[in-house]
Chains A and B, each alone.
Chain A
Amino acid sequence: MAELTYRVAIARGIAQEMERDPSVVFIGEDVAAAGGVFKTTEGLQARFGPDRVRDTPISEQAITGAIMGAAMNGLRPIGELMFSDFLGVCWDIVANQIAKTRYMTGGQVALPLVIRTANGGGTRFGGQHSQSLENWAMAVPGLKVVAPSTPRDVVGLIAAAVRDPDPVIVFEHKKLFATKQDVPDGEIVDTLGVAAVRTNGSDVTIAALAAMVPVALEAATRLAGSGISCEVIDLRSLVPLDTRTLLESVARTGRLVTVEENPRLCGWGAEIASIVAEEILWDLDGPVIRVTTPHCPLPAAAELEDLAIPSPERVVEAVLRSQ
């Protein structure tokens, strides 16, 4: 057991898989010699060599295209997009090529690749370096989507993503890089599509993802003082989605609040709300409430950004409104 930051856990997860499987390779901008602009990949090139850990030009289409081609020809590549916002410059490769090629070829091609990317706000970077884009990826058939909230899960979900035979996008949250946790020694491997119940409760289910998990947990702590018992579910994976855990919880508590960092329209909470409405409407005792960022770009100024991103106060207010 060692205390690890989320940042260091990223390198540990990648190293665990590169050590295990020589076909795992890793490329991206500034990831090798420099160890990553967020220092999330320090030491990997020194350990695994310049053939397996390579710096690329600022060419997101080349990065994503190259890992796709490499996956078609016997490797299990990991490509890093420095910021998830940069998905915008390679969305063709991600959404049209990587996501669809297996299906369109009638299953002739397998693409065991991973795209890792720094996602989310709270860092005052402004509208092009702060977005939470997990719902973009979730909307495209053919992509698996995970977003860890803890250092331990970073290791386990990166491992699961690398071992998965299909394309997986791992959204790592910038705001969580400095968070710490005791992480067990030895190999950690999770299963995609398994949510974690972070705290058990009986009055309301709060579904959250990545940096919204600690926000939800803080709200749950405050609400406990008011006698309201919250069950916080960390989704961890949007595709596949662990609806079983969610539906079981909501059927028991009778109430659901989603806490999403993505903007309001078509955020993942809307999909979950629709599943709940279709399948267990009569188990609900109150309205499903979504807490999201407003439907506007994220601002840079601290006061405005903090207003935009869901806070414990807003989650508490939503839970009280659901009662």
Chain B
Amino acid sequence: MTGSPVDPIRLGLYRDMVRARYFEQRVYDLFMEGIVKGTTHLGLGQEAVAAGYAAAMRSDDMTFCTYRGHNHTLLRGAPMGALIGEMAGRSIGICGGKGGSMHLTDVTKGAMGSYAIVGAHLPIAAGAAWAAQLRGTGQVSVCFFGDGTTNIGAFHEAVNLAAVWRLPVVFVCENNIYMEYTPISAVTPVQHPAADRAAAYGLEPLIVDGNDADAVYAMAVDTIERARRGDGPSLVEAKTYRHKGHSRADPGKYRPQEEVDAWLAYDPIPIYRARLTGEGVDPTALDSIEAAAATEVEDATQQVRNSPPPDPATLTTDMWVDGGSAWRN
């Protein structure tokens, strides 16, 4: 039974996951080629969380993410060439080459920044939500972070403040089981590092299968609409897994092979494809999505290869709002 109608949102989830996957694979390849510089923290394997939440957000909602934020920034609508260009330190870069892989930002799309010090962006996301609350804009902040963040002070300060002030913010923990190189269970006294802390702030413990795009999307709709209604923050723990190591420097050898194999077999993209086709979606429609994503990645790569490095004159621009960085007269 091919050609069945399917919810465009679900096709969109598949499209976004595939775009994110191809994009991150290309980032990896370009790093190996020496085009992408510095470091990268790839979101390979965690695409369903980014896709599910991005699909549930309003265009003026605000995303705050971490150094593992390529997927989130892309799926809010930032142009792929400008994102890879940023990682490559080219003038086409979304931040003009001043941010790099760990600071991808596209404010025009509501991607309010990637923050590279663990925990810092939780209070910032809460503050943006506070402004939305005071100004009555109806915007929601969605803040993504890893399991390791649940052990830093800023996490607790931010969730507490958000709960006390009933701020329209959704905190989404992407629990990929490892805080950098160490199993989160080795350094955390509770089984669910985010969900088990929720009660301390009067919040409901919310756990979702972070590799199931439908489940993430449903959770995203619930938590975002709750925030928008004025019913306050949520703390969600999405169970997922990163296919690569923590960063470029890390081959991830500390992970048991059986564990890696089990999670690779539970890859969010093939399981979603199988679900859609099992429900009657024409596989050629999904093939077209994949082909379009491949083309997008090729085009983006070409834009990056053609882009010069940043103009040296920009070294000292844009520290202040006047465009410069003068500190004396």
Residues of chain A touching chain B, judged by Cβ–Cβ distance below 8 Å, are: 25, 51-52, 54, 56-57, 59, 61-62, 64-75, 77, 92-93, 96-97, 101-110, 112, 141-142, 165-166, 193, 239-244, 275
Contact = CB atoms under 8 A, between A and B. Distances in A.
Given A69-B127, A73-B62, A97-B115, A106 B120 contact: no
A92 B98 contact: no
Contacts of B318: 102-103, 106-107
B117 A92 contact: yes
Given A97-B117, A105-B95, A109-B105, A69 B128 contact: yes
A104 B127 contact: no
A166 B320 CA distance: 6
A74 B135 contact: yes
B103 A69 contact: no
A87 to B, nearest CB: 15
B96 to A, nearest CB: 4
27 contacts: A62-B157, A65-B123, A65-B126, A65-B154, A67-B127, A68-B127, A69-B127, A72-B128, A73-B128, A74-B135, A75-B134, A93-B120, A96-B120, A102-B319, A104-B99, A105-B98, A105-B99, A106-B96, A106-B98, A108-B107, A109-B107, A110-B321, A165-B321, A166-B320, A239-B327, A242-B329, A243-B329
Contact of B103 (A52, A105, A110, A193): A105
B129 to A, nearest CB: 7
A207 to B, nearest CB: 14
Given A73-B127, A243-B328, 6 more contacts: A65-B121, A69-B128, A73-B132, A75-B135, A102-B320, A105-B105
A51 B134 CA distance: 7
A199 B98 CA distance: 45
B100 to A, nearest CB: 8
A20 B2 CA distance: 64
Given A66-B126, A73-B131, A240-B327, A166 B321 contact: yes
Majority SS at the chain B contact face? mixed
Interface residues of B, number: 57
B95 A108 contact: yes
Majority SS at the chain A contact face? mixed
Contact of A103 (B98, B112, B123, B328): B98
B56 interface: no
Contact of B326 (A51, A96, A240): A240
B302 interface: no
Given A103-B318, A105-B107, A141-B319, A70 B157 contact: no
A106 B113 contact: no
A4 to B, nearest CB: 30
A249 to B, nearest CB: 14
A104 B99 CA distance: 4
Contacts of B154: 61-62, 65, 92-93
A65 B117 contact: no
Contact of B319 (A61, A108, A142): A142
B161 interface: yes
A241 B130 CA distance: 34
Contacts of A112: 321
B328 A240 contact: yes
Contacts of B211: none
B124 A97 contact: yes
A67 B153 CA distance: 17
Interface in B297-329: 317-323, 325-329
Given A56-B161, A62-B160, A105-B113, A69 B123 contact: yes
Contacts of A242: 328-329
A244 B326 CA distance: 14
Contacts of A52: 134
A164 to B, nearest CB: 8
B234 interface: no
B139 interface: yes
Contact of A66 (B97, B113, B123): B123
A106 B95 contact: yes
A150 B129 CA distance: 37
B164 interface: yes
A260 to B, nearest CB: 18
Contact of B124 (A72, A108, A110, A142): A72
Contacts of A64: 123
Contacts of B323: 107
